[in-house]
Amino acid sequence: MGRVNGGLNLSRSFADFDYKQTSSLSWAEQMITCKPDVKSFDRSQNDEYILLGCDGIWEKYVDNNQGIIDLVNDDFKKGK
């Protein structure tokens, strides 16, 4: 798990101003920034859905990607 200085979980980057005090750096260059990492993926006709979750969800509930895909597929089959 990525933590800053052993304490701050990265999903909390929208605040925590103690980590944004280096005046010689822009907001995007600070130790912590709310500038998102954006990735683009080509969709295919076989894609059924897009599954998004924060790090807390993935850390607590997901052992592997296929496991969460199976869980979601099972819920869809049950009408959830």
Which residues fall within 8 angstroms of residue 64, CB to CB, at 6 or more apart?
Answer: none
27 neighbors 38 (Cβ within 8 angstroms):
no
List the chain domain ranges.
Answer: 1-38, 40-80
The pTM (predicted TM-score) of the whole model is: 0.44
Q: Which amino acid is at 12?
A: R
Q: What is the mean pLDDT of residues 6-29?
A: 75
**Within 13 Å, how many C-alpha atoms sit on residue 51's CB side?**
16
pLDDT at 12 over 60: no
Query: What digits encode the pLDDT tens for the residues 24-67?
Result: 998 888 877 777 778 898 999 999 888 877 767 777 777 778 88
pLDDT at 1 over 60: no
pLDDT at 8 over 70: no
